[in-house]
Amino acid sequence: MPDAAVKFIQLFVTGLVTGSVYALVALGFVLIYKSTSIINFAQGEFVLVGAYICLFLVQAGIPFIPAFALTMGASVLLGLGVERGVLRPMIGEPIISVIMVTIGLAFFLKSTISLIWGTQIRVFPPIFSQEPIHFGQVIVSEVYIYTFIFAVLFLGIFAAFFKFSRIGIAMRAVANDQMTAQSMGIPVKIVFAVSWCIAAMVSGVGGILIGNINGINITLADFGLKVFPAVILGGLDSILGAIIGGLVVGVLENLMGGYLDQYFGGGVKEVAPFFVLLVILMIKPYGLFGIEEIERV
């Protein structure tokens, strides 16, 4: 196989793994927006909190599986606390005020993590093997394969939850029309709370998976901003779009970084998602699967 083909496949596979985690976190963005019409700018901080809680539990001697389950429980409490204590009092307020509250929440969570754990990079104990696996000339670390499998597994679980469970169907009804759903007896406030809890959970999973690859520090909170282009690409109100958008942005980011860094002296990978965001907004503002809204006055 030519070296150029090997490099492309290597970059594509790595980007696909990152993109699968982007898709998980993007799912949290979409869930909150669909149910409450709020863009949660604290989503990256949910990623950060989940990663640090799991790391703390694992370093305390708790095996990974119980630590993971406890982290999911803590994420549910975080999402519930944010919805009940921060967002519910803002019902009926202008949408810009609610968005500013999520930005303030982001700073609060990030500062709290810095105060407790500091800003230095921390590394997870070896949970997934780092041994390389050879697929012909293409080499992929086992941790990347496990990360991709876990991300796809959780995406599948949540997709099935939305499609088949009663609360998932209720969430879809509320996303379609809150007033009609409430008139049919669906507890809209409970749906709001569940949306925030699930958003915190998927973000926590994303933080744990990324933390096992790169380690974690306070900059992991920026992951939320990097995911935002994926959300816009797929459409703010599309779960399928969030998954596809995450995968596409992850692959494009890695390919652009791999091929263009040598010409620009580095940093292309960090800029690439926002370049994609700019292009999307100019060409298709509602994303690939978003619903175009037309207001007549």
Where along the chain do its domains lie? 3-283
Distance CA 14, CA 19 (A): 9
Is the pLDDT at 74 greater than 90? The verdict is: yes
**Per-residue model confidence as pLDDT tens digits over 244-285:** 888 888 888 888 888 888 888 777 887 877 777 777 777 777
E strand spans, 99-241:
132-135, 138-141
Give the residue carrying structure tokens 């196989």: 1
Mode of pairing for the β-strands spanning 138-141 and 132-135: antiparallel
Nearest to 276 by CA among 243, 261, 258, 254: 254
- Output the average pLDDT for the chain: 83
Q: List the beta bridge partners of residue 46.
A: none
Q: Could you tell me which CATH number the domain at 3-283 has?
A: 1.10.3470
**Per-residue model confidence as pLDDT tens digits over 187-243:** 888 888 888 898 899 899 988 888 888 888 888 888 888 888 888 887 777 778 888
Distance CA 107, CA 115 (A): 12
Distance CA 208, CA 172 (A): 28
Nearest to 247 by CA among 233, 268, 266, 261: 233
The pTM (predicted TM-score) of the whole model is 0.86
